[in-house]
């Protein structure tokens, strides 16, 4: 009986304890909820609806939260959600929190000191926000912290020593980069972060020397102190103890070498202990001394060496050839670096880029250059090299950019250089090269950026093969001894923007075809022996900005109209037979008989024109006076012609109403400036998308409708949306397209619900390749040349097999060609009171026609390149170009460029993280993904450069992205920059 009483009492005690614990745990759960609600109250903007479900009863179901088995919040991750507001101190009440990630948002204000009370916190990421003020000292209480990232904010003041010396040795990652920190790096010997692997302090205003106590961080793999104001000797003793170091960035500081800035050997000797080193960047310091031969004993894993923009002198040690995995070697801008180029360098079989420019190197260019199979860029310009250009350059099949300018090279240009079939830039200017321009080199159609052979001793004529460089942007043949006439075929270089033929011995007339180059901006033909009149086509050009005709033998009348309106007398000096209205130029003296002759010639010209064209036009004007009510007849005729030509099915307005449920809001799938897009199903179960245009009387929408119909009717490509039919009535305009089952790229990049993932890297690159191919077709091969002016993710649709199709041509530009039909605006009615009025009208219309044939400028064509570049950067960076970050600060291009090339790791990691949940990424595939993402970023930056001379063609872009696509499917292929 006593035993039973005891058992009953024990059971009752356990039940009481259970309910007490449960009640206490429920109280903590309610505290967590209250803390999060307080945090949410400080959010002023949530454009992506990241907190949309933060009103349900169970906080563990809220987006961005994870709980433990006791329903306590342990993980709060809201990165890249574009949230605005301040970080509420109430988060400190989430006492079980171990991960806090609010990176990639727009939080302002200070970092709450109360976060220091979260004793279980292991990871904090507040990077890429707008946080200000100091780092709170209270963070020193976070003894379990492993990861701290406060980079890319506006934090100020000194970096508190407590960040490094907080009594814990667990921190592995510490990023305080890209802020406004000042003062020294405060460390003492008691600071031992023995587990720290990554330390990033770049782009601040830190001063003083690197503290010796940093050598206690013996497990560091990445140390980046670049872009600060650090001084003193290179930290040899410190890095010598970092045996695990892989990346060392000390660039853009004020370091010096040892022994009064004369000795680099101690530093490179200390690096010999870093057996895992892959990148070394000491660029932009004040380093003096010679490069020691001990550099050849560094880690064979070393892939990139940047020592440019220093005061290094002496010869290049041949021992560098021991670093067999080097892909990038940059020793440029060390003016006192001298001696010859060691032939041993060309045993570096992995070398892709070599920069040796702006030094004092002498001797010959070694023929061993031809032994580097993957060399894509070679810059040995601005040295004292002499001798001839090696024939072995013919072996460099991957060479894209060759800079040999500003040397003392002599002899001919080797014809074998024409075997460099991927060459995009060739600069041999300011040398002593002689003889003629080889036909083989002139036939290099791969040259897309510029050809510069200026300031040499070249002779002979311009080879006609050079006129086949249809995509080259700049040609400079100035300051040579070239003779004969300027070939009229230069007008075939249709992409040319800059042409300099000055200071040669050219004679004869200046070809009028040069004035027809629609993108030409600069032309210099000064100091030649050209004769005849300056072609009127040059004055009529809408793109020419800089012209120089001085010191030739030109004659004729010059007016200050058109492209000549901004010119001064300096552009025409030395042409004694020129006269005109340019200020400082002698006036032209005309005779009355000359004016009479002109009048007679004009009469003879206008009379047959009137007989052939005037009378029918007069009849047409009479007909217009009788019937002017059919303002939309041209569109209806065009629709009927389109239906007859392509046999498009007839779909009535009523059928579209039935298919879309009366254009119900529930079927609305998109809206834009010119209308709405509805989804629907026809009676034969065909799924369609109906683009209904807003009807306006101003003709703007009519123009958009006609333009889009014309493009969809006359273009055929697997990556362009096809048209099913159109439906057009006087008050209703619609285009019927196939419905794409996978939606748009916008839906996958920025889903309104669910995780931000849906496409892996293979799919994204394939989509980019499809888009580039479609754009290349529009630009180069389409029956009508089209410039898509609204390329963005929402205008890229995906079909069942994830093939991308470009759509929405409503505001595209049509590049007019010479064989287009001339038509008069049907919406206007003309009446003429006299034959003279008709003549004037006809002449005006003829002039308008001729001007319209040249209306498209290089600026408009470049819009498509920039848009595709922005799309690539958007995919890689995971940010919209319209984010508030770019509206109030730099553009997306500028923001990515600010991180290029050495600060891209967060962007690359973010891209891999976004794609990884959608595909299983093995460890050996990570490098492949990194390579591809980096290439996408570089290609995006090239396409969005402000200088059009440095942008590629659309065919180049399509080729490069297709290469990346092939690389992902066959990673054994090498990527060559």
Which residues are annotated as catalytic?
790
Tell me whether residue 691 is annotated as binding.
yes
How far, in Å, are 653, 720, 855 from residue 542 at the CA level? 45, 32, 8
C-alpha dihedral, 126 to 130 to 136 to 138, nearest 10°: -30
Max Cα-Cα span within the chain: 145
Give the integer Cα–Cα distance in Å for 340 and 253.
Answer: 29
To the nearest 5 percent, what fractions of the chain are helix, strand and coil?
35, 20, 45
Count of Cβ atoms closer than 10 Å to residue 969 Cβ: 10
Q: Is the dihedral of CA 430, 432, 435, 440 positive or negative?
A: negative
Give the integer Cα–Cα distance in Å for 687 and 739.
Answer: 6
C-alpha dihedral, 602 to 604 to 605 to 611, nearest 10°: 130
Give the integer Cα–Cα distance in Å for 781 and 634.
Answer: 27
Count of Cβ atoms closer than 10 Å to residue 484 Cβ: 13
Strands 732-738 and 725-729: antiparallel
Question: Cβ distance 481 to 505 under 8 Å?
Answer: yes
Q: Which residues contact 603 (CB under 8 A, 6 or more apart)?
A: none
Which stretch of DSSP H or E encloses residue 737? strand 732-738
Q: Which residue in the block uniquely carries the two structure tokens 């009615």? A: 829
β-bridge mates for residue 532, sequence order:
554
Residue 145: φ, ψ to 5°: -65, 130
Give the integer Cα–Cα distance in Å for 411 and 88.
Answer: 73
Strands 73-77 and 384-387: unpaired
Question: Cβ distance 533 to 510 under 8 Å?
Answer: no
Count of Cβ atoms closer than 10 Å to residue 577 Cβ: 12
Note the Cα 209 to chain centre separation in Å.
37
Q: Which residues contact 935 (CB under 8 A, 6 or more apart)?
A: 960, 964, 975, 977
Note the Cα 657 to chain centre separation in Å.
43
Contacts 24+ apart (CB under 8 A), 946-949: 948/473, 948/497, 948/858, 948/862, 949/449, 949/450, 949/473, 949/474, 949/497, 949/498
Tokens representing residue 754 in the block: 């669910």
Q: Which residues contact 746 (CB under 8 A, 6 or more apart)?
A: 792, 793, 794, 796
From the list 529, 921, 542, 974, the residue with the least C-alpha distance to 762 is: 921
Give the integer Cα–Cα distance in Å for 807 and 677.
Answer: 12
DSSP conformation class of 895: H
How far, in Å, are 332, 358, 360, 378, 959 from residue 335 at the CA level? 8, 6, 6, 18, 38
Question: Cβ distance 333 to 308 under 8 Å?
Answer: yes
Query: Alpha helices, DSSP H only, in 556-695?
Result: 592-609, 615-626, 633-646, 653-659
From the list 536, 529, 548, the residue with the least C-alpha distance to 511 is: 536
Binding residues for ATP: 691
Binding residues: 691
């Amino acid at each position: 009986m006593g035993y039973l009483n005891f058992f009953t009492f024990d059971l009752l005690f356990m039940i009481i304890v259970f309910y007490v614990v449960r009640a206490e745990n429920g109280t903590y759960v309610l505290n967590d909820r209250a803390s999060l609600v307080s945090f949410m109250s400080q959010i002023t903007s949530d454009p992506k609806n990241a907190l949309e479900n933060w009103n349900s009863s169970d906080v563990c179901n809220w987006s961005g939260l994870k709980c433990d088995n006791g329903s306590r919040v342990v993980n709060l991750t809201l990165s890249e959600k574009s949230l605005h507001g301040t970080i509420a101190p109430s988060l400190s009440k989430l006492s079980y929190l171990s991960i806090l990630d609010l990176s990639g948002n727009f939080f302002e204000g200070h970092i709450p000191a109360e976060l220091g009370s979260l004793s279980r916190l292991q990871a904090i990421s507040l990077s890429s926000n707008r946080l200000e003020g100091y780092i709170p000292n209270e963070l020193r209480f976070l003894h379990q912290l492993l990861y701290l990232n406060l980079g890319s904010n506006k934090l100020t003041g000194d970096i508190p020593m407590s960040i490094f010396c907080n009594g814990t040795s667990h921190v592995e990652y510490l990023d305080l980069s890209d802020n406004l920190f000042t003062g020294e790096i405060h460390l003492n010997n008691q600071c031992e972060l023995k587990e720290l692997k990554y330390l990033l302090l770049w782009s601040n205003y830190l001063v003083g020397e690197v503290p010796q106590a940093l050598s206690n961080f013996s497990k560091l793999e990445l140390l980046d102190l670049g872009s600060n104001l650090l001084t003193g000797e290179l930290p040899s003793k410190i890095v010598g103890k970092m045996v695990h170091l892989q990346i060392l960035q000390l660039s853009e500081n004020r370091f010096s070498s040892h022994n009064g800035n004369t000795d680099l050997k101690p530093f490179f000797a200390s690096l010999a202990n870093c057996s895992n080193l892959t990148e070394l960047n000491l660029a932009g310091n004040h380093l003096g001394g010679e490069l020691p031969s001990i550099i050849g004993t560094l880690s064979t894993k070393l892939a990139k060496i940047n020592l440019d923009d220093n005061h290094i002198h002496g010869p290049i040690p041949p021992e560098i050839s021991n670093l067999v995995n080097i892909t990038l070697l940059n020793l440029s801008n060390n003016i006192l670096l001298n001696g010859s180029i060691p032939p041993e360098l060309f045993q570096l079989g992995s070398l892709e880029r070599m920069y040796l420019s702006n030094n004092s190197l002498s001797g010959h260019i070694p023929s061993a250059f031809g032994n580097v199979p993957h060399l894509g860029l070679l810059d040995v310009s601005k040295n004292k090299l002499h001798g001839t250009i090696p024939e072995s350059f013919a072996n460099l099949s991957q060479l894209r950019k060759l800079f040999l300018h500003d040397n003392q090279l002599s002899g001919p240009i080797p014809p074998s250089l024409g075997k460099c079939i991927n060459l995009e830039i060739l600069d041999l200017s300011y040398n002593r090269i002689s003889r003629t321009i080889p036909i083989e080199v002139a036939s290099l159609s791969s040259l897309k950026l510029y050809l510069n052979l200026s300031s040499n001793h070249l002779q002979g004529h311009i080879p006609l093969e050079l006129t086949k460089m249809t995509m080259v942007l700049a040609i400079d043949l100035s300051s040579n001894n070239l003779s004969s006439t300027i070939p009229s075929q230069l007008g075939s270089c249709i992409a040319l923007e800059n042409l300099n033929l000055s200071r040669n011995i050219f004679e004869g007339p200046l070809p009028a075809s040069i004035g027809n180059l629609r993108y030409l901006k600069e032309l210099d033909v000064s100091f030649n022996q050209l004769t005849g009149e300056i072609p009127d086509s040059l004055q009529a050009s809408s793109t020419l900005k800089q012209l120089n005709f001085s010191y030739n033998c030109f004659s004729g009348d010059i007016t200050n109209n058109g492209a000549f309106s901004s010119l001064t007398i300096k552009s025409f000096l030395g042409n004694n037979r020129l006269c005109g209205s340019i200020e400082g130029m002698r006036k032209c003296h005309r005779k009355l008989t000359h004016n009479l002759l002109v009048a007679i010639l004009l009469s003879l010209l206008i009379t047959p024109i009137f007989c052939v064209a005037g009378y029918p036009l007069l009849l047409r004007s009479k007909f217009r006076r009788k019937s002017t009510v059919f303002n939309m007849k041209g569109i209806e005729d065009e629709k009927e012609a389109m239906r007859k030509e392509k046999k498009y099915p007839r779909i009535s307005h009523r059928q579209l109403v039935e298919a879309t449920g009366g254009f119900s809001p529930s079927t609305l799938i998109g809206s834009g400036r010119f209308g709405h897009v509805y989804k629907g199903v026809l009676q034969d179960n065909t799924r369609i998308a109906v683009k209904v245009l807003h009807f306006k009387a101003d003709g703007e929408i009519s123009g958009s409708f006609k333009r889009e119909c014309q493009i969809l009717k006359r273009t055929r490509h697997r990556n362009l949306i096809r048209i099913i039919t159109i439906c057009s009535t006087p008050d209703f305009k619609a285009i019927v397209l196939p419905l794409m089952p996978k939606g748009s790229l916008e839906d996958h990049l920025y889903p309104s619900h669910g995780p931000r993932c849906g496409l892996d890297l293979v799919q994204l690159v394939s989509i980019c390749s499809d888009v580039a191919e479609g754009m290349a077709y529009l630009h180069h091969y389409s029956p009508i040349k089209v410039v898509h002016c609204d390329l963005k993710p929402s205008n890229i649709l995906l079909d069942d097999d994830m093939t991308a199709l470009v759509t929405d041509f409503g505001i595209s530009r049509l590049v007019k060609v010479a064989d287009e039909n001339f038509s008069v605006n049907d919406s206007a009615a003309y009446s003429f009171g006299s034959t003279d009025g008709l003549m004037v009208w006809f002449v005006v219309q003829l002039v308008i026609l001729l001007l319209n044939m040249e209306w498209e400028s290089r600026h408009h064509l470049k819009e498509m390149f920039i848009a595709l570049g922005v799309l690539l950067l958007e995919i890689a960076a995971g940010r919209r170009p319209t984010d508030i970050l770019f509206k109030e600060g730099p553009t997306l291009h500028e923001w990515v460029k600010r991180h290029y090339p050495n600060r891209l790791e967060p962007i690359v990691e973010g891209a891999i993280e976004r794609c990884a949940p959608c595909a299983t990424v093995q460890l050996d595939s990570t490098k492949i993904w990194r390579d591809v993402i980096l290439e996408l970023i570089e290609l995006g930056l090239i396409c969005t450069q402000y200088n059009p001379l440095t942008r590629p063609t659309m065919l180049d872009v399509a080729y490069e992205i297709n290469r990346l696509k092939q690389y992902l499917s066959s990673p054994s292929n090498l990527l060559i920059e």
